[in-house]
Amino acid sequence: MSEFKVLFAEGSSINRPPMFNGMNYAFWKIRMKIFMESIDSCIWEAVDHGPYVPMQVVKDEEVVKPRFEWSESEKKKTQYDLVAKNMITSSLTMDEFFIISQCSSAKEMWEVLEVTHEGTEDVKRSRKHSLIQEYQLFRMQPEESIVDVQKRFTHIVNHLTGLGKVVDKEELNIKVLKFLDRSWQPKVTAISESRDLSKLSIAALFGKLMEHELELKRLKQA
């Protein structure tokens, strides 16, 4: 466990887990998963698959291995659940902590938080369908800036990702270029012809649109 304690030492170069106060759960959920994986992918695996329990075969039956017989490797594997529980509880405010305080594993904590803030699988499925429809009908509003468009669009995409709906780069980029109003058509054509939309990140695409928007404003003021 000593190798993990260093990660949370005061003054350490590794940041503390992202805090969660009950708001913007989808945002926290993504950040927390990234944080865990950045420390050690096995920590996230303990959350995703549950704690590791050393087993052995006795009289053709698989049973839990006595703690005093655990190897060093097995001892290390069992620590990942403890580290994950520490990370999760360290990231929660008091109200959120009490929601999961009786959970025995990091996986159980994660699932309780999911149900509390995302609802049951039926509720999540319904929200997912609503967001997909919102994504499909997304359009740029009259006089709306590219920055505001990006915020609205990214909000929908991030929530879809949090609910398990992942859209690839090319589809996202094509969607953005299609929902821009007619005044953007020359720029849309230029980007479509000069860029590989399967490799261009959505952030880079919005960056180019912002550059064009600033140039148009500059020309109007000239």
Query: For the segment 1-37, what is each residue's pLDDT rounded down to a tens digit?
Result: 445 544 444 333 357 899 999 988 888 998 999 999 9
Q: In whole angstroms, what is the distance from residue 63 CA to residue 46 CA? A: 20
Band of residue 218 on the pLDDT scale cut at 50, 70, 90: confident
Of 158, 154, 162, 165, nearest to 129 by C-alpha is 165
17 residue type, one letter: P
* Rg of the chain on CA atoms, in Å: 23
% of the chain exceeding 70 in pLDDT: 93
Same domain, 70 and 113: yes
Q: Which domain holds residue 66?
A: 2-117
Same domain, 13 and 107: yes
Of 156, 216, 131, 219, nearest to 181 by C-alpha is 216
3 state SS of 91: coil
35 residue type, one letter: F
Cβ-contact 181, 155 below 8 angstroms: no
Same domain, 127 and 38: no
What is the per-residue pLDDT for 2?
46
Q: Is residue 77 over pLDDT 80? A: yes
Q: In whole angstroms, what is the distance from residue 96 CA to residue 25 CA? A: 11
Cβ-contact 54, 78 below 8 angstroms: yes
What is the per-residue pLDDT for 14?
56
Same domain, 24 and 59: yes
Residue with more model confidence, 25 or 222: 25
Average pLDDT over residues 211-218: 86
Cβ-contact 167, 195 below 8 angstroms: no
Q: In whole angstroms, what is the distance from residue 16 CA to residue 34 CA? A: 12
* Domain boundary pick from 117, 150, 177: 117
What is the per-residue pLDDT for 146?
92
Q: What is the rounded average pLDDT for all residues in the chain?
A: 86
Q: How far from chain centre, in Å, is Cα 144?
A: 27
H or E segment and range at residue 62:
strand 61-64
What is the per-residue pLDDT for 9?
43
